[in-house]
Structure 1
Amino acid sequence: MRRAVLILLFPAAALADPALECSGASSQVEIGSCVAQMEERVNAALEESFGFAMQTAAELDGVTGRTEAQPALEAAQTAWVGYRDAQCAAVGASFGGGSGTGIAITSCRVNLGRTRVDELLRFAD
């Protein structure tokens, strides 16, 4: 059920460069808009999957009588956000300020976000 909800938020189809998934886009402005919309969907999927994982962590903490799973997951998510931001900034820097910098950064965030959704869903199962 949880995976079905997330599949609707973004297609698992292509794990290629998100910019290449914007088949109808013919300019950098259109590609930028397309990948920005992808990022919005991925962010929604991240929120959902993190919520599922937190629910699972809460259940685990309740069963075990400990309070470790939720704080650990929160710390991991915070660390992941820092990694994503730094990694995608590095990708952007590799473009030397060129016109494709924003698309590259957003595409990086989409790719890393998709991977994180999968990780969170594995935790939630």
Structure 2
Amino acid sequence: MRVSLCLLASGIATFIAFGANAEDLDCNNPVTQADMTACERARQETADKALNAQYKITRAALATLDKDLGADGGAEKALVKAQRAWMDFRDAECEVTGFQARGGTMEPMLVAGCIAGLTDQRTKQLKELAETMGN
């Protein structure tokens, strides 16, 4: 009996440590808190990849603008500065959001969801900026 309990506890600990495979998750209908958190983290990762791709495009557009205007790197440099400030804001804002469930199992889900949402918004902003620069 004691061995069975140890094996069960070990199995649960392994599942918690490694989580379910992303392929096993139904993020359209997550059931457990662990699933909800995993889905928000996957959404955060997807949003981050899209942001990074768009940031490269926007930065290239501003570098081209600098060359066309004969500027000394002003637009691209301003974008880099703004992006760093935005990342600090996003992380701080989402940390505050997490306090709704501070110390609870929902906290990581809230933070990941906040990061994903703000990252999606920033990606749209960067896309609009690149489009206004002619790309």
Query: Aligned to 2:30, what secondary structure does the other structure show?
Result: coil
Q: Rg larger in 1 or in 2?
A: 2
Cα distance between partner residues in 2 of 1:73 and 1:107: 25
* Per-residue deviation, 1:124: 0.9
Which amino acid is the alignment partner of residue 88 of structure 2?
G
| Partner in structure 1 of residue 68 of structure 2 | 63
**1:39: Cα distance to partner?**
0.8
Which residues in structure 2 correspond to 1:1-125 (within 5 Å)? Answer: 22-66=27-71, 67-125=73-131
Cα distance in 1 between the residues matched to 2:102 and 2:111? 12
- 3-state SS, counterpart of residue 78 of structure 2: helix
* Aligned length in residues: 105
Percent of aligned pairs sharing the same letter: 28
Unaligned runs of 5+ in 1: 1-20
CA displacement 1:53-102 (0-9 Å, x = unmatched)? 00110110000011200100000000000000000000112323222000
Q: Counterparts of 1:97 and 1:33 in 2: how far apart (Å)?
A: 17
Name the aligned partner's letter for residue 104 of structure 2.
Answer: G
How big is the alpha-carbon RMSD for the aligned residues of Structure 1 and Structure 2? 1.3
Q: Which has the higher contact order (CA 8 A, sep 6+)?
A: 1
| Letter paired with 2:116 | V
Structure-2 separation of matches of 1:96 and 1:74: 32
TM-score by length of 2: 0.75
